[in-house]
Amino acid sequence: MRLFQYALALAGLSASALAQSADSYIATEAPIAKAGLLANIGPSGSKASGAKSGIVIASPSTSNPNYLYTWTRDSSLVFKVVVDQLTLGLDTSLRGLADGFLVAQQTIQQVSNPSGTVSTGGLGEPKFNIDETAFTGAWGRPQRDGPALRSTTLITYANWLLDNSNSTFVTNTLWPIIKLDLDYVASNWNQSTFDLWEEVQSSSFFTTAVQHRALRQGAALAARIGQSGSTYNAQAAGLLCFLQSYWNPTGGYVTANTGGGRSGRDANTVLTSIHTFDITAGCDATTFQPCSDKALSNLKVYVDAFRSVYSINSGIASTSPVATGRYPEDSYYSGNPWYLATFAVAEQLYDALLTWQSLGSLNVTSTSLAFFRQFNSTVAVGTYPSSSSTYAALTSAVKSFADGTVSVNAKYTPSNGGLSEQYDKNSGSPLSAVDLTWSYASALTAFMARNGTVPASWGAAGLTVPSTCPSGGSSGSGGSGGTVAVTFNVHATTVWGENIYLTGSVNELQNWSPSTALLMSSANYPTWSLTVNLPASASIQYKYIRIFNGAVTWESDPNNSLTTPSSGSFTVNDSWR
């Protein structure tokens, strides 16, 4: 098999030149990124004046845009970097910061806010003032990824503390904080949420995936300290089922949100792979590991979506790295590349390379074939051991593509190394919020992956999708004792922001309640789908409803009806009436 020369990015640089370019950038940018991240943490950070101890400001920018707030999601991702560097022995001086974060989050959890109290939904509040008081203005709420991300950061810290004989502190201080978040996730994961860009209210791939990780990791920690985690594992099974529904087999990519009216090609999906990376799971596609065929296919589709969107990507070969943003239809600041989105592409590939090295082989499937054919136009489906020339050529090309992606960000990083939120799609000049803490965190995690840093396992290895999927929500029932899995498909066209829900005559279908109706997946739009466990051999009535800006529209009469079989599974195909 003839291996074609990989068309390298940035005006035909060689692999060694690309590596040297990335090396040079990382050598100067890594300490700047770390200093930038630390500067945005209160109370001592040089740009975090007024922030309480352990509070992360999103950015020191106070106008156009005003980001001088603390987001639970951003803070948790930022402190995941801090905790990883501490627990992996990269910087043992960060212990005090980690303790400050857990105390700050303990306080934030108890602050009543527009989403509710600690026991009535307040944990889903996305952002707070930097003095730990509630933000009461209009906002996209709730955002249900925050509690999951906060818990995984604290669980990683808790496991390290247990390894270092701090079990009393973990059980008495950390576990109550973590348990509040895990209980929230277990009870609310099947409810609608705003996505991580705070624009679409539906279900989000990123949110579902990090919720699944949180419950798996939480159950393991519970077992380790003698607490009950059975509820978390039960709900995680439903999440893992639901996670599969985002895959769009026709397009070869992950549909980022079940609503929103967009193509679904979104950095959300790439961020998911890197933030649920577990090298012990290998290239598992069930959890969309970075080197899985679905994640690699998705990455190519995502990157390609930006080739003709930004002027700065013009003239770059179709197999070379480009700047990427949130999603191609983005209109925020007219839609531009984001540093964190571009770094995420590189990080996924570095994680994939680490996993292939660990496995000693690389597998090309029909799903990932298009991804690999960017680098070798004649590569065939098959498994290539690390001793083979094909493995060597492909991994070298992937490494160069990742390095080239880092070099794209390097090209548009100002001379002082400061990382804003975006850079202009036409000129490459920094845009939007200056010194975005998440941008600095994304640089550090990409650099750590390139240097071979492997985060702690969270329990992704060996997971399988249940043969019968729970319907979700807080009950955790399904999959046993006289139930059958019924898949509902309905053809329904919608407007942007409108979603389709299912409700009906039995408890599993929420007893005709529009307020708790089950959100359906639009991964194969205009067909909306949902699999629910229903009582076997039962006559059931149901209807679909539309919800748009809070307004509920019911399908026309009469009710739909079905009789479930005594065992197995069942599928109904409907069209909106």
Is 433 found in the same domain as 322? yes
Output DSSP code: residue 479: S
Is 539 found in the same domain as 500? yes
Out of 463, 494, 523, a domain closes at 463
> What is the percent of the chain where pLDDT is above 70?
95
Q: Is residue 266 part of a domain?
A: no
pLDDT confidence of residue 21:
86
Give residues with Cβ within 8 angstroms of 134, minimum separation 6: 111, 112, 113, 114, 125, 128
CATH of the domain at 411: 1.50.10.10
- Tokens encoding 12: 């035909």
Q: What are the two backbone dihedrals, phi and then psi, of residue 166, each rounded to the nearest 5 degrees?
A: -115, 45
Q: pLDDT tens digits for 265-315?
A: 999 999 999 999 999 999 999 999 999 999 999 999 999 999 999 999 999
Q: Is residue 10 part of a domain?
A: yes
Is 377 found in the same domain as 490? no
Q: pLDDT tens digits for 411-438?
A: 999 999 999 999 999 999 999 999 999 9
Is 306 found in the same domain as 224? no
Q: pLDDT tens digits for 203-252?
A: 899 999 999 999 999 999 999 999 999 899 999 999 999 999 999 999 99
Q: pLDDT tens digits for 483-538?
A: 788 889 999 999 888 899 999 988 889 888 888 888 888 888 899 998 888 888 88
E strands, 342-412, where? 361-364, 382-385
Q: How far apart are CA 254 and CA 265, in angstroms?
A: 7
* Overall number of domains in the chain: 3
Q: Is residue 45 part of a domain?
A: no
Q: Is residue 89 part of a domain?
A: yes
Q: What residues act catalytically?
A: 195, 198
Is 451 found in the same domain as 357? yes
Is 141 found in the same domain as 110? yes
Q: How far apart are CA 451 and CA 403, in angstroms?
A: 12
pLDDT confidence of residue 9:
38
Is 291 found in the same domain as 337? yes
Cα angle vertex 367, ends 18, 330, to 5°? 65
Cβ neighbours of 380 (radius 10 Å)? 12
Q: Is residue 268 part of a domain?
A: no
pLDDT confidence of residue 14:
72
Is 60 found in the same domain as 2? no
Give residues with Cβ within 8 angstroms of 252, minimum separation 6: 297, 298, 300, 301, 367, 370
Is 427 found in the same domain as 513? no
Q: Give the three-class secondary structure for 518.
A: strand
Q: Is residue 506 part of a domain?
A: yes
- Tokens encoding 59: 């950015």
Q: Is residue 46 part of a domain?
A: no
Mean pLDDT of 111-130: 96
Cα angle vertex 569, ends 566, 575, to 5°? 115
* Nearest C-alpha neighbor of 9 from the set 319, 304, 308: 319
Q: Structural domain of residue 510, as residue ranges?
A: 483-575
Q: Is residue 313 part of a domain?
A: yes
